[in-house]
Chain A
C-alpha cells in the first residue's frame, strides 16, 4: 500500500482565532483505506477534511504551516481545481453544491471541467448511473429528488472524474435510516471494488463504525489527534456509539463495534437482564386530556398528497417521536400543527383552538416549532439582541430569555453572533427563544442533525425536563437512538399515513430499521420487553446489585 494523503506537521490557524484549529498534525493515509473522522462539533473535523484538497486555506483564509500532499501534489502550490482529478469532495449539504439542474448534467459537470473526451464522458455517466442506482432518475430535476437520491448524485458527481480519494462530510446526517444504509453500501462497494480511498466525517457512529479501517479522533482545542484501529480508538474515545458504550458497561473484550459482534458476546447479559425483567414494573402512565387533537387531516402540494387522513391525539407530558423516510409527511404535519399551512380537510386543534387562526403572542404561547434549520429563527447579529427580541415577541419581562438561556446553556456568550455558534448552541438558542413564550406544545424538526453525542445528551435531558413540566413535545427525527432515549411514544408515517403508533419499545424493537443498537443486541425473539438504551441497561443492572 502506498500513501496517498500525507499531512506533515500541519498547523491551521483561521484569521482572528487565538489558537490554531488543528496543531501539528502528522497523518498518512494509504491508498484504498476507509478512514472515519470523529470528534465533537467544532473540533476541527471539517477543517481536516477540507485541507485535503486545499479548500483550507485557499477558500477559507487563514494560514497553513507544514505541508499537505495528495498523490505527490502539495496543496500550497495546487489550487483545489488542480486537485479535482484526484480528490472528490462531497460537502455536508449536497443541494448547496449542485451547479447544474438535472442529474445527468450534474454527473457530467466535473468531467467537462477536466476536459475528459466526450465518448469517455458518455460511458462514465452511464456506469455511474448504474453503480449508484440512479438510472431511473437520470433526467429528473435535482430539486425534485429525495434526500438519499441527492446524496447519491453528489457522490456520483465527483466519482465520474475518477478521483483516487473521496472525502465526505457527514453524508448521512440528513438521511433516514434506510437511505443512510443505501449510501454507506455504495461507499463500501467503492472501497472494496474500485480501491478508492474514503475519508469520512460522521457524528452518528452507530451507522459507520463497522465499515472503517481506521478511526481518527479529533479532540478539538488543537490537542493531538488520536489515530488507530476502530477498537483501539473506541476504547478511550468520549464519542462512542451505543454498542461500544454497552460493551464498556458489560466489560466485553474485544470491544464490539457492530451489533453482530455484540450479539455474540451478549448471551450472558441477555440472561441476566431476562431474570431481572420479571421484577421490573412498567412506569405508570397517567392519561390526561389531549392538548393536540388532529382528526382526519389531509394536505397536499399541488396534485401530490402529503398527508392522507391523519388522526392523532397527544397529551401533556408526552414526548412523541415522529419517524418515517424522507418525504413521508413529517414536516408537513409539523407545519400544520403550528398553523403554517391550513389542512385541505380535517381539523387541527391545539388546546382546543385552530392554530391557523392565531398570530403573535397568542400563537407562540400555545405552540412553538424549531424548524430543521434553526438559523432561520435567528435574525439578529448577537445573542443578546436575539434574546431581547424574544422577550418582546412573547410579551414577557425583559431578561427572561437570557435567564432561560443561562440555565440551559451557560457557556454561550451574549455578544456572540448566532452564525458563529456551533450547531448545537444555535439549536439551544433557538429553543430558548421559542420556550420563553411557554408554549403548551413544542415541536422540533430533525433537531439532532449535525449534533455530537454530548450535545444530544443535553438535549435529551432538556426535553425530559420539559415534558415533566407538562409540555407536550413532538420530535420529527431520523435518529433512532434519540427516539429511544427520549420518546415515550413513536409514530411512524409512510406516504402521509400513520402506519404505527404506540409506546416506543413496542414500535421500534421489532423493526430492523428503527430499532436502536442496544435493543438489537439484547432482543430475545420471545418478547419485546428489552432495554433500549445503555442507561436503561445500567439502571437494570444497578437494581440487581
Chain B
C-alpha cells in the first residue's frame, strides 16, 4: 500500500547517516553515504514541491567544499611538503602574528581541506535527503501538542516566503505600468516598502482568520496544574544544564553527569505532557508509526552506532591518510554498516502517486 512514511522516521534515518558522516574523513565512505542517501531519495521521495529540493542540497554541498578548499589555500598553515604553488604572502601587523595570508600551498593541505569539506557537505546532503523525503511542515505536524503553536508559526513564516516573492513581482510589474525603471538598486529599494507593508497587512488578516477559527483555544485548568507544569519545565532545564556540565567537565563528580541529565529529560517530558493537555486541539489523520518506521529507524541505529563504535575503538580506516598522502583504504565493516541504510529504499512503502502539475500551479 503506497503511503507516506512517518516524517520522524525519515529524519531519524537521515540523522543516523549524518552521525556516521561526522565520524569519518574517508572520502570513499563519505561518497558511499551520499550515494545511499541519493538512492533512497530517488526511490521514496514525496510528490510535494519539497520532494524536488534534493538537487539544491547537492549543489550547496559542492559550494561548501569549494569554499573550504579556497580558505585552506589562502589562510591556513600548510601541512606536508609537496608544494604545488606559492601565493603572494601578505605581511600582517604584529598584533595579528600567527595569522598567515598567502604563502606556499601544499597538496597535503588541499586534500585535507577537500576531505573536511566533503564531510560537511555530506552532513548537509543528509539534511537535504530528509527534507525531500518528509517536508519540515509534515515533521512539525508530528511535534508534541505543547510545541504545536510554535511549530505552526514556523510553518506560516515558511509559507510567507513564496508569497513575498509573488508580491515583489506584482509591485515590480506595477512600477513598469507607471513607466518607471524596474531594475537597479533604486528600483529594488523603492519596492521594498510596499512589499513589506503588504506582508504586514496579510499577517494581520491571517491572524484574524486563525483566531476566528479557534486557534489558541485553551482548556480550563486549575492554577495548581499550571504551576506544576511551569515548575516541571524550569526544573528540567536546570537539571539538564547541570547534567551537561557534569558530562563535559571530567573533574566533576560522576553523580552530576548522566543521572542528572536523565532526571532532567524525564522532568521535561512530564512538563510537555502537562502543557500539551492545556491545548484542546486534536489531529486530523496523524501519520501512523508501524513496522516500516521501526525498520527504517533500526537501519539508522545500526549505521550510526557501528561508525561511532569504530571511531571510539580507533579504527584507522575511518581517517584518510594525509601526511604522507596515500590512497584511502576501504574499511569493510564501516562500508557494510553504511550500506545497511540503503535498505529503507525497500522497507519504506512507496510514496503515493506523483501527480502532474495542475493549471495555475507554481512551476519550480
Query: Is A112 on the interface with B (CB-CB < 8 A)?
Result: yes
Contact A53-B212, Cβ < 8 Å, known A376-B174, A379-B193: yes
Q: Hey, which chain A residues are within 8 Å of B219, CB to CB?
A: 115
What separation, in Å, do the CA atoms of A369 and B173 have in the docked complex? Answer: 10
Q: Hey, which chain B residues are within 8 Å of A105, CB to CB?
A: 284
Query: Is A117 on the interface with B (CB-CB < 8 A)?
Result: yes
Near B by CB (< 8 A), chain A positions 87-115 give 87-89, 91, 93, 96-99, 101, 104-105, 108-115
Query: Is A371 on the interface with B (CB-CB < 8 A)?
Result: yes
Query: Is B316 on the interface with A (CB-CB < 8 A)?
Result: no
What separation, in Å, do the CA atoms of A376 and B197 have in the docked complex? Answer: 11
Near B by CB (< 8 A), chain A positions 364-392 give 364, 368-369, 371, 373, 376-377, 379, 389-390
Q: Nearest A residue to B178 by beta-carbon distance?
A: A393
Which residues on A are within 8 Å of B, measured CB to CB? 53, 55, 58-59, 79-85, 87-89, 91, 93, 96-99, 101, 104-105, 108-118, 121-122, 125, 140-141, 143-146, 157-158, 161, 301-304, 327, 335, 338, 340, 359-361, 363-364, 368-369, 371, 373, 376-377, 379, 389-390, 393-394, 433-434, 437
Residues of B in contact, count (CB < 8 Å):
49
Q: Hey, which chain A residues are within 8 Å of B173, CB to CB?
A: 335, 340, 371, 376
Partner of B284, one of A118, A369, A389, A390: A118
Contact A338-B177, Cβ < 8 Å, known A301-B360, A379-B193: yes
What separation, in Å, do the CA atoms of A361 and B178 have in the docked complex? Answer: 8
Query: Is B156 on the interface with A (CB-CB < 8 A)?
Result: yes
What separation, in Å, do the CA atoms of A373 and B180 have in the docked complex? Answer: 19
- Taking a contact as CB atoms under 8 Å apart, the answer to whether A80 and B194 are in contact is no
Q: Hey, which chain B residues are within 8 Å of A143, CB to CB?
A: 360-362
Near A by CB (< 8 A), chain B positions 190-237 give 190-191, 193-194, 202, 204-217, 219
- Taking a contact as CB atoms under 8 Å apart, the answer to whether B177 and A97 are in contact is no
Contact A368-B177, Cβ < 8 Å, known A81-B217, A84-B213, A143-B362: yes
- Taking a contact as CB atoms under 8 Å apart, the answer to whether B178 and A377 are in contact is yes
- Taking a contact as CB atoms under 8 Å apart, the answer to whether A80 and B177 are in contact is no
Q: Hey, which chain A residues are within 8 Å of B212, CB to CB?
A: 53, 55, 80-81, 83-84, 87, 89
User: Across chains A and B, which 9 residue pairs bring their CB atoms closest together, nearest first?
Assistant: A84-B214, A97-B209, A108-B284, A115-B280, A113-B214, A364-B179, A144-B361, A376-B174, A302-B363
- Taking a contact as CB atoms under 8 Å apart, the answer to whether B177 and A371 are in contact is yes
Q: Hey, which chain A residues are within 8 Å of B206, CB to CB?
A: 96-97, 99
Query: Is B359 on the interface with A (CB-CB < 8 A)?
Result: yes
Query: Is B354 on the interface with A (CB-CB < 8 A)?
Result: no
What separation, in Å, do the CA atoms of A368 and B174 have in the docked complex? Answer: 11
Q: Hey, which chain B residues are within 8 Å of A393, CB to CB?
A: 178-180
Q: Find the residue from B194, B209, B213 having the highest chain A CB count within 10 A.
A: B213
Q: Find the residue from B156, B191, B209, B360 having the highest chain A CB count within 10 A.
A: B209
Q: Hey, which chain B residues are within 8 Å of A87, CB to CB?
A: 212
Q: Hey, which chain B residues are within 8 Å of A335, CB to CB?
A: 173
What separation, in Å, do the CA atoms of A327 and B194 have in the docked complex? Answer: 27
> Given A84-B214, A141-B361, A371-B174, 14 more contacts at CB 8 Å?
A88-B213, A98-B209, A101-B159, A108-B285, A112-B283, A143-B361, A143-B362, A301-B360, A340-B176, A340-B177, A359-B176, A377-B177, A379-B190, A433-B178
What separation, in Å, do the CA atoms of A81 and B149 have in the docked complex? Answer: 14
- Taking a contact as CB atoms under 8 Å apart, the answer to whether B213 and A110 are in contact is yes
Query: Is B357 on the interface with A (CB-CB < 8 A)?
Result: yes
Q: Hey, which chain A residues are within 8 Å of B205, CB to CB?
A: 91, 93, 96-97
Q: Hey, which chain A residues are within 8 Å of B180, CB to CB?
A: 360, 393
What separation, in Å, do the CA atoms of A144 and B361 have in the docked complex? Answer: 5
Q: Nearest A residue to B205 by beta-carbon distance?
A: A96
What separation, in Å, do the CA atoms of A134 and B211 have in the docked complex? Answer: 25
